[in-house]
A and B are shown apart, each in its own frame.
Chain A
């Protein structure tokens, strides 16, 4: 079969769609669903710009077939804010100036989201580890780490 009908939840909404077997989850998100906040930086699972959550776990959407999303719950950067109300992680990134060109930021925030879900009070080293699969060429990571640390301190 080259085409498949799949049913999945994306950012809280249930969708049913036909996908091609050779389509990546990233293509489904960006091209079919027009959720372009998820970025493509390397297509090899090295840069992390395409990070989304699948069933609560951070994954590289360039390394997952769209058809594998059947029955899954997907969260992309667009699913974090509710209307004008930002997710606390997003708020903290803004406050700390933890962004420059911004291209890695959606993936970075999704990695942080997955981390804080599992571990609400991570150490600095745990944060560094959790985002080590998200390359940033602009910031030197420092403010990003501060921003993530600060979310956890605020919630504490």
Chain B
């Protein structure tokens, strides 16, 4: 049956290639002539580069190019242009790229790196963002005031604050006055790594015409191209970015990271393909990391549990460069209050430079950090007031008509349904099962997130109809595992009334596939999906017009389904799509129209800026997706170890496009959230050196640890979503950690307010409580 594929668990388009090992990732590609790159990295967290001597390295046989910040110190950055391609004049974190070598073998490149002599003059290291905010703190970027940035980022000149985002809604003092109780708490989230199993990798090539081709494990072919173009002052159409399958991204492969090191080497070695695949240690030290964050939350509530006012200060440990991270602090800022409606709000979200690895996008884009604070404090409030944690969420939950932190009036919100369903699924009102020797606890947490992006982030799609009635869908969304190929093929098939098997989806190649802002912000099904709908409708329009000519009727009298274009009034009269694919052929053999190519472009409409002083506006983001998770845990009170036993997850995703993939995405998010809760943190020593740059001491959840999971989707259609669909890929990891924290309180009456909740911290909390 053609069409009718929305809501079906269609088999993934990439499944066969991936289970047979045939799927190619950047590291699997080979070209000739090939060079291998290695990077010299800074051993200092903050130092002046006094001199760099590359002469010995250049003399080594087999070395084709050595580049440093002397050659390539152009600025690059997505939101705040604060980063140079290679370190220039200063290094600002341990692991920062100081020089790059391209040589005929990896061994020679490595040898050459050792021959580069760099003299450093150490500078004072700033690791604590709160110290870094002080007026007398050493400046990490002396020229912050000169940096270019987008209009919605607000650096504070001559400080280490690269963005200060504010919300001023209602009158927060008045709100506190109206409150019966006021709660003040602090919460902390450490740095984290994305840990895609495929490390970053790039192969770059420049031919003698100056055309640069980049094979890239990335989430953002077009953004990468634009960033390189802007940095190098190079024409966009002279840069081609190709993204084969990407072995996981989670935000870490958005924007540009490794590319900015490899392309300069390729520019120095025309004709060669320069390959750099990060090892795991480089992956930890020198790709984007999730920023650390400290939240100070002051909340006023009535004795009935209604939140009256919230004053929120978030201090983000942005790392050495915040070109991308600055916008995370904004996103968390405009989501202040989380999934709850609060009349009076005051938020200050500060992005602060420190001498740590570069903060950047990470699945959740600030929401994991924000909700870790808000969702725990709400539980503390519930406990103090003697209100059930589910109930207090129902009291405050955003609903249709609620006004959020930025003054936007919300509609089509299904949060309360999510809360009720999650509570039901976990058995909130039922007695708890007990595991011998352990104490069981139950907890719940909600979340909200919108796609954080510039208001005009667009998508486009091209749909080519082939001679046999099949189609090729060209898009530049990268397949990072989320299933974009399959979901977008389903959407095209649905619109065209075609079997999904007949639609082949291209992997991104900016030379041929049309513009896509980035594969981030859980926006591909939503944004690219809308572009695909428009492309399919455009193709359909053309098909109908041609068929109408053939039948001598108007296009409005035609319809398309089951691979046919037929007269609505008389379906027996039809052309097959195949017959019309190259245009209508008249009885005399002449042609009309020509090959069918559908094109579709899309940008969310009605988005605008926010007032820089108050953060108020009409619509900060394209849409909001809400959800809720409830968990059951077992705590070993003697060791402090927590087992995550059961998780119930309910999200209002508008419309489920592919249930199997939606479920899989959610399961993966829950387990990633479990890692956040229990293990994941980047640990730095007093010099800013990362102490755990491997999976030996940066633990991910393995198969033995994952919980039992039950998943449900509420479907409140989104007005401008494809078939009502909303983005949700990032959201699903956000509430796991606070739900576990709340379950810990339920089990033992203790709170751990800094992540991760290691067994050691839990045991300490138990002992502290017992000694009180």
Question: Using a CB–CB distance below 8 Å, which chain A residues touch chain B?
Answer: 30, 34-44, 46-47, 49, 76-78, 80-81, 86, 90, 93-106, 109, 125, 127-129, 131-145
Q: Are A101 and B703 in contact (CB under 8 A)?
A: no
Given known pairs A93-B15, A139-B668, the reply for A101 and B20 (CB within 8 Å) is: no
Q: Are A137 and B280 in contact (CB under 8 A)?
A: no
Find chain A residues with CB under 8 A from B700 CB: 135, 137
For residue B110, give the distance in angstroms from its CB to the closest CB of chain A. Answer: 13
List 20 additional A-B contacts (Cβ < 8 Å) besides A100-B665, A129-B704, A142-B664: A30-B28, A49-B197, A78-B21, A86-B20, A94-B15, A96-B660, A100-B664, A102-B17, A102-B18, A102-B245, A103-B198, A106-B21, A128-B704, A134-B703, A136-B668, A137-B668, A138-B481, A140-B671, A140-B672, A142-B709
In the docked arrangement, what's the CA distance between A82 and B742, Å? 51
In the docked arrangement, what's the CA distance between A56 and B20, Å? 18
Q: Are B19 and A105 in contact (CB under 8 A)?
A: yes
- A38, A94, A97, A100: the one contacting B21 at CB < 8 Å is A38
Find chain A residues with CB under 8 A from B694 CB: 42, 44, 46
Q: Are A101 and B246 in contact (CB under 8 A)?
A: yes
Stretch at the interface among B6-14, B423-431, B619-627: B6-14
Q: Are B280 and A44 in contact (CB under 8 A)?
A: yes
Question: Using a CB–CB distance below 8 Å, which chain B residues touch chain A?
Answer: 9, 11-12, 14-25, 27-28, 30, 194-199, 245-250, 277, 279-280, 479-483, 660-661, 663-665, 667-672, 694-696, 700, 702-704, 706, 709
Q: Are A42 and B19 in contact (CB under 8 A)?
A: no
In the docked arrangement, what's the CA distance between A33 and B53, Å? 39
Find chain A residues with CB under 8 A from B663 CB: 143
Main secondary structure of the interface of A (DSSP, over half): loop
In the docked arrangement, what's the CA distance between A20 and B24, Å? 26
In the docked arrangement, what's the CA distance between A39 and B703, Å? 19
Find chain B residues with CB under 8 A from A137 CB: 194-197, 248, 250, 668, 672, 700
Instruction: Using CB atoms, name the residue of chain A closest to B486.
Output: A97
Q: List 28 A-B contacts (CB under 8 A).
A: A34-B30, A36-B28, A38-B21, A41-B198, A41-B280, A44-B695, A44-B696, A49-B197, A77-B20, A86-B20, A90-B19, A94-B11, A94-B16, A97-B11, A97-B661, A98-B664, A99-B14, A99-B15, A101-B197, A102-B247, A103-B197, A109-B19, A132-B704, A135-B195, A137-B700, A138-B664, A140-B670, A141-B703
Find chain B residues with CB under 8 A from A127 CB: 703
- B21, B245, B482, B665: the one contacting A77 at CB < 8 Å is B21
In the docked arrangement, what's the CA distance between A81 and B694, Å? 33
Q: Are B20 and A37 in contact (CB under 8 A)?
A: yes
In the docked arrangement, what's the CA distance between A100 and B667, Å? 11
- B247, B703, B704: the one contacting A144 at CB < 8 Å is B703
Given known pairs A94-B11, A97-B660, A132-B703, the reply for A138 and B19 (CB within 8 Å) is: no
Instruction: Using CB atoms, name the residue of chain A closest to B10.
Output: A97
Q: Are B20 and A36 in contact (CB under 8 A)?
A: no
Find chain B residues with CB under 8 A from A103 CB: 25, 196-198, 247-248
In the docked arrangement, what's the CA distance between A136 and B704, Å? 12
Q: Are A97 and B12 in contact (CB under 8 A)?
A: yes
Find chain A residues with CB under 8 A from B12 CB: 94, 97, 99
Instruction: Using CB atoms, name the residue of chain B closest to A134.
Output: B703
Instruction: Using CB atoms, name the residue of chain B closest to A143.
Output: B664
In the docked arrangement, what's the CA distance between A128 and B16, Å? 23
Find chain B residues with CB under 8 A from A104 CB: 197
Find chain B residues with CB under 8 A from A35 CB: 21
In the docked arrangement, what's the CA distance between A90 and B20, Å? 7
Q: Are B279 and A43 in contact (CB under 8 A)?
A: yes
Find chain A residues with CB under 8 A from B199 CB: 41
Q: Are B481 and A100 in contact (CB under 8 A)?
A: yes
Find chain B residues with CB under 8 A from A86 CB: 16, 19-20
Q: Are B18 and A140 in contact (CB under 8 A)?
A: no
Instruction: Using CB atoms, name the residue of chain B closest to A105.
Output: B18
Q: Are A131 and B19 in contact (CB under 8 A)?
A: no
In the docked arrangement, what's the CA distance between A36 and B663, Å? 29
In the docked arrangement, what's the CA distance between A103 and B480, Å? 10
User: Which residue of B197, B668, B703 has the most chain A CB atoms within 10 A of its CB atom?
Assistant: B703
Find chain A residues with CB under 8 A from B20 CB: 37, 77-78, 80-81, 86, 90
Find chain B residues with CB under 8 A from A78 CB: 20-21
Find chain A residues with CB under 8 A from B194 CB: 137
Q: Are A41 and B481 in contact (CB under 8 A)?
A: no
- B196, B479, B664, B670: the one contacting A97 at CB < 8 Å is B664
In the docked arrangement, what's the CA distance between A98 and B668, Å? 11
For residue A115, give the distance in angstroms from its CB to the closest CB of chain B. Answer: 12
In the docked arrangement, what's the CA distance between A135 and B695, Å? 10
Find chain B residues with CB under 8 A from A97 CB: 9, 11-12, 15, 660-661, 664
Q: Are B27 and A101 in contact (CB under 8 A)?
A: no
Find chain B residues with CB under 8 A from A136 CB: 197, 668, 703
